[in-house]
Structure 1
Amino acid sequence: MIPIIPGIMAYCHPAIEFEKEIYLPGEEITGRAWVSTTKDMKAKSVEITFTGKAVNAFKLGKAANVAKTGKKGEEVYVEMKHEVWAPENEENTFPAGDYEWKFSFELPKDCPPSFEGKNGFIRYSVLLHMDIPNWPEKNVERAVTVSPIIDLNTIAEAGEPTKMHLDSTVFFFNCFPCAPRRGSVIYELASPKLGYVSGETVIVNGAIQNNTSKPIRIIQAKLNRVVTYREELQGKNKKRNPADADGYKSRCERTVLETKIERCQIQPDETTPFEFSFVIPPVVATIRNSKCINVEYNVSIWADTGFCNKIEDASLNILVGNVPLAPSSLPSQKFVDGNAAQSWKVHLKPDFTYQIPYYGI
């Protein structure tokens, strides 16, 4: 049973406030923290900590086995702690009154942007910690959004055309791996440039060559986001698995942002052109500067060669930034509210519960 300490009921929850809600890498995060009490209480110290880190957690193991859930990787970009109050007597008296502490913390120039996903996050937050003897420690934490700086004008390939070629073998009956092959489908994909920002239209065109014995009746195009969460490798017994992303144990979270379907009749030995367009929605920009979490985007094209056939789709990678190529009528994109990472409540310990994120550029 927790003891009742005189004056503790007079304690008000501390609060944190930032001067603004969105910052850029290299900027100084500024704000204030405060607390009020109507009676004297006891406290050993009051500290303000600024932390920026990536954390991911996901299940490993097959359905038949017990899946292990927990933190798989963590990368700290910045961590600074300041003691803002210390007792002036041996009784550790925290006198009644109103307290306010202003703080400022500098962001690293190369830190990745804020991100909240189903299996991990990149989060920057300020924690106000009060060490109260014989009582649960009192903490209040508030996250701040760090926006990316991906200026497409500074990336040489962003304005250049991009293309890819794929010769995909068609297998008959996916459930029978020993069944004979049924030919191939050759994809040619191209886009006028590599880099885009939210609000811009991605155009992907090309051609599909049907080298099978059956007609192709459907072409399906998807705009996809792929988030890769990597496990942090520590200890002598952990080795890279080349079958996973970049040789790490990892979990991929694939989200289809938009799907388009075109009905067609591509007969055997025929080649048919196609063109699809997608408007980039408000999404977080491409993230490639984190060891734990990567965010990529692509447009995939898939030709339906018939029931029970197995065929690989073709994917054309694109780069999503937040400063458009000049000249452009679009302004630099800002963060927008998005969906919370619901799985944090279910799969992870309370220490890793999610916060409402900003999903955007």
Structure 2
Amino acid sequence: MGFKDHFEIVFNSPVYYAGQTITGKLIVELKKPKKIKGLYLKYFGKGSVHWNEGWGTTMVSHSNLEIYLMQYQLVCGNETDEYELTEGRHVFGFNCQLPADLPSSFEGHFGRISYSVKAIIDRPLKNDYVAKQPLTIVSIFDLNRCSLAAVPVEEQNSKTFWGHPKSLNMSVNIPVRGFVPGQVIPIKVLLSNESEVPVKSLEATLKQKVVFHAIRKSSPMKVFVFKNEYPVEEGIGNKEVHLNFQVPPLPPSFLQFCSIIDLRYQLDIKAKVSGCHRSLKLPIELIIGNIPLVAYEMPIFGNQPLCDVPGLSPLCNQFSDNRPPPYTVIFPPSMEYGDLPPPSYEESIRHGRLDREGPREDSNSNAETREFLPLYPVYRFETARAQTVG
């Protein structure tokens, strides 16, 4: 399309839940009339994985693909007879009912789950005009319907060090196992150190454990989401340490309805000791959802930025600088908890993305191609204001 014309897709919201209806408008501004056969939209969603192994002639590629959404919608014209689109501004409303079994958007190193809407002006005997816009689809993961989410975490581990017959014992207690982005995870760590090897600090690390399933092989990967270290004074004897950190914008555990990417979350609590001794580590599986456990903690209303909360881990500084613009508030469908405040939607933590799929679908688009980071629901909680790092 010539530079004087304008062709754009505008969503009423960049985030929709599976089962909702995508709504928006298609804006076409022309400086002069144009002959077209039709203007139509393509709604598309897919999951894809791809990675290479080896070098040169020994390189082997592994890949897989799932299609979740493919719908076409004619906006104007009839695709057979020519139709004149007059000069000036044209605004076409559109909507598309989404299936209820769509997996959440996800961007990973070897794979992604992505959704987009492409608008195409079919011109007779000329190149088509194309505009494409990505969007986030969120699959509901209600922690109230997950039996493991409300179960308290009570884990323990111990070890002895060379030359020290007595042991270092560590137990970790968390009120529940399931949390949502924006929520503070309160961790109580009990140390019983009779080994005479001092504990210098406690380290909390949240990891994504992702498995990408190609047709003939799977590739597991661990991605660090959060890592922070808390000093321990006089690390001999009995200690009780409280660690609090806030869950950043993240996709839900398991990526339900997707069979080629599996996602889980692991929290590692590590007691780091002095000298050349190895640390004592305790791995804990957490469950990340997007509807909070209402019996455990209800979110609050408010528009305050998450990262303005004093005393919390500096993790949220990693994603506070690139907030998306304001947009219409979208509620999860079939909300059963009438007094549950709506979430905000914030960009996912940057983890790298798959970029080896061959030519891009929108290679002939008049719009700029930009990196897309999904938006995930983030709730506000009173504990995010009141609690400080222990």
The answer to whether the aligner puts 1:111 opposite 2:98 as a matched pair is: no
Counterpart-to-counterpart distance in 2, 1:102 and 1:325: 37
Summarize the Cα distance change of 1:10–1:259 in structure 2 as closer, same or farther, 3 Å threshold. closer
1:322 corresponds in structure 2 to 290
Summarize the Cα distance change of 1:22–1:346 in structure 2 as closer, same or farther, 3 Å threshold. closer
**1:17-166 aligned within 5 A:** 17-41=10-34, 43=36, 45-58=38-51, 60-61=53-54, 65=55, 72-84=63-75, 85-89=77-81, 92=82, 94-97=84-87, 99-132=90-123, 135-166=126-157
Summarize the Cα distance change of 1:158–1:141 in structure 2 as closer, same or farther, 3 Å threshold. same
Aligned residue type for 2:375: Y
2:177 corresponds in structure 1 to 194
**Which of 234, 245, 250 is residue 278 of structure 1 equivalent to?**
245
**Paired residues of 2:18 and 2:101 also in contact (CA < 8 A):** yes
Counterpart-to-counterpart distance in 2, 1:45 and 1:68: 44
Give the C-alpha shift of residue 326 in structure 1. Answer: 2.7
The answer to whether the aligner puts 1:260 opposite 2:229 as a matched pair is: yes
2:375 corresponds in structure 1 to 358
Counterpart-to-counterpart distance in 2, 1:129 and 1:351: 15
Aligned residue type for 1:215: V
Q: Once the two structures are superposed, what CA deviation does each residue of 1:141-177 show, in whole Å capped at 9, x if it has no partner?
A: 112333342333222332221222345687x8xxxxx
2:319 corresponds in structure 1 to none
- Three-state SS of the structure 2 residue aligned to 1:249 is strand
Q: Name stretches of at least 5 consecutive residues in structure 2 with no aligned partner.
A: 301-340, 362-369, 379-390
1:292 corresponds in structure 2 to 260
- RMSD of the alignment, in Å? 3.9
The answer to whether the aligner puts 1:337 opposite 2:337 as a matched pair is: no
**Paired residues of 1:216 and 1:303 also in contact (CA < 8 A):** no
Aligned residue type for 1:82: Q
Matched residue pairs, number?
325
Counterpart-to-counterpart distance in 1, 2:128 and 2:211: 32
**Paired residues of 1:223 and 1:278 also in contact (CA < 8 A):** no
Aligned residue type for 2:345: V
- Three-state SS of the structure 2 residue aligned to 1:250 is strand
Question: Normalising by structure 1, what TM-score?
Answer: 0.72
Counterpart-to-counterpart distance in 1, 2:293 and 2:93: 39
Aligned residue type for 1:262: P
- Three-state SS of the structure 2 residue aligned to 1:129 is strand
- Three-state SS of the structure 2 residue aligned to 1:126 is strand
Give the C-alpha shift of residue 14 in structure 1. Answer: 2.0
1:15 corresponds in structure 2 to 8
Counterpart-to-counterpart distance in 2, 1:164 and 1:71: 38
**Paired residues of 1:198 and 1:280 also in contact (CA < 8 A):** yes
Give the C-alpha shift of residue 136 in structure 1. Answer: 4.4
- Three-state SS of the structure 2 residue aligned to 1:23 is strand
**Paired residues of 2:171 and 2:190 also in contact (CA < 8 A):** yes
Give the C-alpha shift of residue 44 in structure 1. Answer: 5.0
Aligned residue type for 1:96: T
Per mean C-alpha deviation after superposition, the further-off stretch among 284-293 and 139-148 is 284-293
Give the C-alpha shift of residue 230 in structure 1. Answer: 0.3
Q: Once the two structures are superposed, what CA deviation does each residue of 1:315-334 show, in whole Å capped at 9, x if it has no partner?
A: 22222333333354414462
2:210 corresponds in structure 1 to 228
Counterpart-to-counterpart distance in 1, 2:39 and 2:85: 13
